[in-house]
Amino acid sequence: MRQVEVTRNTLETQITVRLDLDGTGQSKLSTGIGFFDHMLEQIARHGLFDLDIHAKGDLHIDGHHTVEDVGITLGQAFAKAVGDKKGLTRYGHAYVPLDEALSRVVVDLSGRPGLELHCDFTSGAIGGLDTQLIYEFFQGFTNHAGVTLHIDNLRGRNAHHQSETIFKAFARALRMATTADPRAAGTIPSTKGAL
């Protein structure tokens, strides 16, 4: 039930995402942007999600549509995979270091999209990925997954390290939030009775 496939086709991009929330961290990724694929691999590996993403976009213009639309499609896949959220932990958080860099991510499967991302990247691009697009990826994900997401890069001098700590912490926080809580089996983790 927590295995889904979502396809998004527009005049700018054609994207297919296959997601298994109860996977082992395996991934097959092809977006045409090498560093972006590397970051998506971190989501799979550290979230223990099996993730297959194939994207064809208008990279002759730039990476914006591809990165944003992958975020949108991945968000739709997560929303579909968690379903009504009964029995889930709901909240997740993680701190992840990489050498001098350290990031904190906190997520709530709230049903209310909200993103706070704070990172002063030390470079405008990493391996062909415009660092501004990292925000666009997470905004697309947040809006379509229906989550509240707080991302803070607490320190870092190397932009690659900053980005990698963000994506790893995101994966681990999301893994925690989407994990079943045996004490809450069959109940929605909200006093409202709905998320």
CATH number for position 70: 3.30.230.40
In a domain, 87, yes or no: yes
In a domain, 139, yes or no: yes
Read off the pLDDT band of 81 (50, 70, 90). Answer: very high
Average pLDDT over residues 124-153: 98
Q: Where are the alpha helices (DSSP H) in 48-158?
A: 64-82, 132-145
Chain-wide mean pLDDT for the chain? 97
In a domain, 189, yes or no: no
Cβ contact 61:4 at 8 Å: no
Query: Which amino acid is it at 4?
Result: V
Cβ contact 163:121 at 8 Å: yes
In a domain, 24, yes or no: yes
Average pLDDT over residues 99-107: 98
> Given a cut of 80, is residue 175 above it in pLDDT?
yes
Q: Scan for tokens 């809006």, then name that residue.
A: 143
Question: φ and ψ at 30, to 5 degrees?
Answer: -150, 95
In a domain, 91, yes or no: yes
In a domain, 62, yes or no: yes
58: containing domain: 3-184
Read off the pLDDT band of 114 (50, 70, 90). Answer: very high
pLDDT of residue 194: 82
In a domain, 36, yes or no: yes
Query: Which pair of tokens denotes residue 20?
Result: 């298994």
> Given a cut of 80, is residue 36 above it in pLDDT?
yes
In a domain, 114, yes or no: yes
At 136 the three-state DSSP class reads helix
Average pLDDT over residues 24-47: 98
User: Helices 34-47 and 64-82 meet at what angle, rounded to 10?
Assistant: 20
**Partner residues linked to 65 by β-bridges:** none
How many domains is the chain built from? 1
Q: Classify the phi-psi angles of 90: left when phi > 0, otherwise alpha if psi is within -120 to 50, otherwise beta.
A: left
> Given a cut of 90, is residue 193 above it in pLDDT?
no
Average pLDDT over residues 74-95: 97
From the list 37, 18, 26, the residue with the least C-alpha distance to 163 is 37
